[in-house]
Structure 1
Amino acid sequence: MSTDMYGVRVLAVEPDELRARLKVFVVYYDVGSRTHIPLPDEEPNTFLHFLWEAASGYLGDGDDRTGPLGRAMSTSQLLDYEWADTNARRFISRVERVRIRNHPLTDDQWEDMHDVYYERDGAWKDEDLLVQAEYEIRVTDRKWLEPLSVGDGWGSAAFPLNGDSWTAEDSPHIPDLAQPAVTLLPFETGTGSVEYDHVNGMDFSDDGEYLAVCSDQGRVWVYDTAEWSEVVHTHAGDWIVPLMMWVPGGHVLVVKGYSTVGEPEERKQWAYDVDRRAEVEAPFQLGHRRSRDGAHRITPNGAREGGFDLHGDEREPFHRVSHAGEWDPIQCTAFSGDSSRLFLGAQQNLYVVDTTTGEVIDKVHDASERLFTLASNEDGGYLAVGSFSRKLSYLEFRERRPHELCVWRMADKKIILGRQLRTYVDALSWSPDNRWLAAALEPLSDQGFHRGKAELAVFPMGPVDD
C-alpha cells in the first residue's frame, strides 16, 4: 500500500470554462529532520495524477479507474513516468500556483507537526496547519473535470516528476524536443580512424544559412540549413583541443588551438571560406567565444573564481567578470543572440552577465547537479541546457548515467521543457532565425565513448499538443 504524499481538495470547478481550483496539502513529513516533500510545482503531470485519482470507483481487478480519465489512460500508462512526462499536456494545458500557506514552517509550527497525516473521509487532522498551496488548472476537455464537486477531498501517492510546464505563450519560442526534424550522421561520411573522435564544437553562421561542426581530431563539416545537405567535409589540421569560430559577418570559418589560461593567444589559425569552398587567410579571431555581432568575446582568466574576461576584438581593455566571489570554475558558456547577455554555467550554478558592464545581474544556485553545455535564443529569454538528468531518482539507469536536454524560461528561471536522453549532450547551438536547435548527441556505448558515433539532432521550434 502506497503512502500518501499529498491531500487534494476541490475549491472550485467550472467544466464549461475548462478550469478548476485545487488546494494541495503536504501530508508526509519527517519531523525529526524538519523536512517534507515539496509542494508540487506547475508541471501538468502531477496534476494529471491528482485528477485521475479523483475518479470514483474501480474497474475490477485491473485497478483501472472508472472516471473519464480512467477510460482515457490505463494505470500502467500513468505509472510509466516517461509516458506521463510526454502526454500530460494532452489533458492539462496549464497549472498556476496562486497561493501558499504555512510555508516555510516556523520552529513553533514544527513542534505541533506529525510525520504522516491520514485521510479520513476526505479530510485530514489539523488541515489548516499543513503546508499547502492553491492551484488554478486548465484542462483540454470539460469531461476531465466532470467527476469533481466542490469540497471533494482525496489522498494522493503522486510525487513531482519534473515534467513539462510550458504554456501556449512559450510555444513559438522554444524547440519541439519530441522528435528531431532531421538527424545528421557526420562521421559516416568520413574516412580513416574515428577512434577517440567526437563533436566538440558546433555553431550556426550569423545568418543561419550554415551549421558548422568541428570534431576533437580537427574534422570539420558544414551543412546547408535549407536542405540539411553536407556542403563541406574537410580537415582543419592538428590542434590540441581545437576551437571553432565563424568570422563575423560572413561564411568564413576558423579553427585554432585552445588558449592557455593567463598566456597570450598564439595568433595561428586555419580559415576556410564556405562559399568559395577553399582555405583562405582571415583576421585572427581572438577569444574562446564571441557574440553574434562580434562586439564581445570571452577569454579564460587566471582569477581565483575560475572564470572569464569579457573584451572586444582586442584583448585590452576588458571586463573581468566576477561571477561567484569564490572558486566556481565555468564549464560552459553562451551569448544571447542579440549580444546583450552572457550566460556562464559553472558545475552547478548559472550566472547571467550584462555584456555592456561585465556585471552579474542574475544567478541560479544549484541549477543542476551538473551543467555541460548551453545555448541561448535571440533575446536571452530561453536557454537550452544539457545537464545531468533530474529524473535519475525514478528512472532506473544505474551506472549508465545519461543526460537531459532542458529548456529554461529565464523570466522566472524555471525548467519548462525537458527530454530524458540515452545519450550525452556534447554541444548545442540555437539558430539566429529562431528556427532550429541543434544538439550533438554522443550515444551510450559498451565499447567506450568518442568513437565517431555522434549524431546531430536538429529540433524545430514550437512544440504542440497531440
Structure 2
Amino acid sequence: MSTDMYGVRVLAVDPDELRVRFLVFAVYYDVASCTHIPLPNEEPNTFLHFLWEAASGYLGDGDERTGPLGRVVSTDQLLDYEWADTNARRFISRVERVELRNYPLTEAQWEKMYDFYYERDGSWKDEELLVQAEYEIRVTDRKWLEPLSVGDGWGSAAFPLNGDSWTAEDSPHLPDLARPAVTLRPYQTTTGSVTYDHITGMDFSDDGTYLALCSDQGRVWVYDTADWSEVVHTRAGDWIVPLMMWVPGGHILVVKGYSSGGEIEEEKQWAYDVDRRAEVDAPFQRGHLRSRDGAYRISPNGAGEGGFDVHGDEPEPSRRISHAGEWDPIQCTAFSGDSSRLFLGAQQNLYVVDPATGEVIDKVGDASKRLFTLASNGDGSYLAVGSFSRKLGYLDFREERPHELCVWRMADKKIILGRQLRTYVDALSWSPDGRWLAAALEPLAKKGFHEGRTELAIFPMGPVDD
C-alpha cells in the first residue's frame, strides 16, 4: 500500500469553463528534521495524477464513481513517468498556484506536527496546521472533470515529477525540444583520428546566416542556416584549448588559445573568411566571449571568486564582476542577444549581471546540482540550460548520468520546459532572430566518450501539445 504524499479537495468545478480548483495539503512530514514533501509546482503531470485518481474509483470507501480519464489513461501509463511527463499536457493546459498557506512552518508550528496524516472521509486531522495551497487547473476537455463534485477529498500517492509548466504565452519563445527540425552529424565528413574529440564551441554569426562549430582538436565546421548545408570543414591548427569567436559584424571566424585568469593574452589566432572560403588576417579578438553587438567581452580575472572581468575591444578599462564574494567558479557563460544581460553559471548557482556596470542584478541559488552550458534568447527573458538532470531519481538510467536540457523563464526564475536526454549537452547557441536553438549532444558511451560522435540538434520555436 502506497503512502499518501498529498491530500486533495475540490473547492470548485466548472465543466463549461474547463476549470477546477483544488486545495492540496502536504500530508507527509519528517518532524525530527523539520522537512516535508514539497507542494506541487505548476506542472500538469502531478495534477493529471490527481484527476486520474478521482476518475478511477479512489474518491473514498464506498464511492464507486469513475470518469473517462480513468479509462483513457491506464495505470501502467500513469506510472511510466516519462509517458506522464510527455503527455500530461494533452489533458491539462494550465496550472496556477493561487494561494499558499502555512509555509514555511515556524518552530512553534513544527512542535504541533505529526509525521503522517491520513484521510478519513475526505478530511485530515488538524487541516488548519498543514502546509497547503490552492490551485486553479484548466483542462483540455470537460470530460476530464468527471466525476468531480465540490467537497470531494482523497489521499494521493503522487509526487512532483519536475514536469513542464509553460503556457500558450510562452510557446512562441520556446524551443520545441521534442522535435528537432534538423539533426546534423559533423563528424560524418571527418577524416583522421577523432579519439577524445568533441564539440567545445558553437555560435551563430551576428546576422544568423551561419552556424559555426569548433572541436577540441581544432576542427571547424560552418553550416548555412538557410538549408543547413555544410559550407566549411577545415582545421584551425593546434590549440591546447581552442576558443572560437566571430569578428563583429561580418562572417570572419577566429580560433585562438584559452587564457587563464591574470594572464595577458597572446595575440595569436587563426582567422577564416567564410564568404571567401579562405584564411585571412583579422583584428585580434580578445576575451573568452563577446556580446552580439561587440560592445562587451569577458575575460577570467583570477580574483579569488573564479569569475570574470567585463571589457571592450581592449583589456582596459575593465569592470570586475564580484559575483559571489567567495570562491564559486564560473562554469558556463552567455550574453543575451540584446547585450543587456550576462549570465554566469557556477556549478550550482546562476548569476545575472548588467554588463554595463558589472553588477550582479539577480541570482538563482541552487539552480541545479550542476550547470554545464547556457544560451540566452534575444532579451534574456528565456535561458536554455544544459544541466544535471532533475529526473534521474525516478527514471531508470542506472550508472549513466545523461543531462537534461531545460528552459528557464527568468521573470519568475522557473524551469518551464525540460527534456530528459540520453546524451550530454556539450554546447548551446540561440540564433539572433530567435528562430533556432542549436544543441551539440554527445551520445552516452559505455567505454568513455569524446570520440567524435557529437550530433547537432536544431530545435525550432513553438512546442505543441501532443
Q: TM-score range by the shorter chain?
A: over 0.9
d(CA) in 1 for partners of 2:250 and 2:5? 57
Asked whether 1:122 is paired with 2:119, we answer: no
Structure 2 residue aligned with 1:61:
none
Structure 1 residue aligned with 2:256:
256
Structure 2 residue aligned with 1:240:
240
d(CA) in 1 for partners of 2:19 and 2:140? 9
Distance 1:65 1:456, change over 3 A: farther
Structure 2 residue aligned with 1:176:
176
Q: CA deviation at 1:398?
A: 2.5
SS at match of 2:202: strand
Residues 24-173 of structure 1 aligned to structure 2 (within 5 Å) = 24-57=24-57, 66-173=66-173
d(CA) in 2 for partners of 1:169 and 1:57? 35
Identity of aligned residues (%): 85
d(CA) in 2 for partners of 1:65 and 1:376? 48
* Pairs aligned (count): 461
Structure 1 residue aligned with 2:375:
375
Structure 2 residue aligned with 1:402:
402
Asked whether 1:423 is paired with 2:429, we answer: no
8 Å Cα contact 2:180/2:457 also seen in 1: yes
Spell out structure 1 runs of 4+ moving beyond 2 A.
none
SS at match of 2:32: coil
8 Å Cα contact 2:56/2:70 also seen in 1: no
- Amino acid of the structure 2 residue aligned with 1:124: W
Q: CA deviation at 1:57?
A: 2.6
- Amino acid of the structure 1 residue aligned with 2:193: S
8 Å Cα contact 2:428/2:439 also seen in 1: yes
d(CA) in 1 for partners of 2:455 and 2:330? 26
Structure 2 residue aligned with 1:230:
230
Structure 1 residue aligned with 2:12:
12
Residues 314-353 of structure 1 aligned to structure 2 (within 5 Å) = 314-353=314-353
d(CA) in 2 for partners of 1:416 and 1:72? 26
Residues 232-311 of structure 1 aligned to structure 2 (within 5 Å) = 232-311=232-311
Q: CA deviation at 1:161?
A: 0.2
d(CA) in 2 for partners of 1:103 and 1:263? 49
8 Å Cα contact 2:67/2:143 also seen in 1: no
d(CA) in 2 for partners of 1:255 and 1:296? 18
Q: CA deviation at 1:396?
A: 2.1
- Amino acid of the structure 1 residue aligned with 2:141: D
Structure 1 residue aligned with 2:211:
211
Q: CA deviation at 1:65?
A: 9.4
Q: CA deviation at 1:66?
A: 4.2
8 Å Cα contact 1:56/1:147 also seen in 2: no
d(CA) in 2 for partners of 1:33 and 1:353? 36
Q: CA deviation at 1:146?
A: 2.4
d(CA) in 2 for partners of 1:158 and 1:140? 21
TM-score, length basis structure 1: 0.98
Distance 1:88 1:56, change over 3 A: closer
Q: CA deviation at 1:391?
A: 0.6
Asked whether 1:432 is paired with 2:432, we answer: yes
d(CA) in 1 for partners of 2:113 and 2:193? 64
8 Å Cα contact 2:66/2:146 also seen in 1: no
d(CA) in 1 for partners of 2:453 and 2:165? 32
8 Å Cα contact 2:350/2:363 also seen in 1: yes
8 Å Cα contact 1:65/1:71 also seen in 2: no
Q: CA deviation at 1:128?
A: 1.6
d(CA) in 2 for partners of 1:38 and 1:447? 38
Q: CA deviation at 1:105?
A: 1.1
Q: CA deviation at 1:451?
A: 0.4
Structure 1 residue aligned with 2:191:
191
- Amino acid of the structure 2 residue aligned with 1:378: G
d(CA) in 2 for partners of 1:373 and 1:57? 45
8 Å Cα contact 2:54/2:66 also seen in 1: no
8 Å Cα contact 2:371/2:386 also seen in 1: yes
Q: CA deviation at 1:126?
A: 1.2
Q: CA deviation at 1:405?
A: 0.3
SS at match of 1:109: helix
- CA deviations on 1:75-121 (whole Å, 9 max, x unpaired) are 11111111111111111111110101111111221111111111111
d(CA) in 2 for partners of 1:279 and 1:162? 48
d(CA) in 1 for partners of 2:56 and 2:449? 51
Structure 1 residue aligned with 2:363:
363
Q: CA deviation at 1:462?
A: 0.6
d(CA) in 2 for partners of 1:193 and 1:65? 65
Q: CA deviation at 1:282?
A: 0.6
d(CA) in 1 for partners of 2:156 and 2:56? 14
d(CA) in 2 for partners of 1:261 and 1:353? 19
- CA deviations on 1:162-196 (whole Å, 9 max, x unpaired) are 00000001000010001211100001101111011
8 Å Cα contact 2:66/2:147 also seen in 1: no
Q: CA deviation at 1:420?
A: 0.6
Gaps of 5+ in 2: 59-63
Structure 2 residue aligned with 1:451:
451
SS at match of 1:357: coil
d(CA) in 2 for partners of 1:147 and 1:376? 44
Gaps of 5+ in 1: 59-63
- Amino acid of the structure 1 residue aligned with 2:464: V
- CA deviations on 1:250-304 (whole Å, 9 max, x unpaired) are 1100000001221110001000000111111111100000000000000001101
d(CA) in 2 for partners of 1:112 and 1:219? 64
CA RMSD of aligned residues (A): 1.1
d(CA) in 2 for partners of 1:377 and 1:168? 18
Q: CA deviation at 1:349?
A: 0.2
- CA deviations on 1:390-424 (whole Å, 9 max, x unpaired) are 01111122221110000000000000000111110
- Amino acid of the structure 2 residue aligned with 1:144: W
d(CA) in 2 for partners of 1:32 and 1:216? 50
d(CA) in 2 for partners of 1:103 and 1:238? 57
> 118-127 or 379-388: which moved more?
118-127
8 Å Cα contact 2:404/2:419 also seen in 1: yes
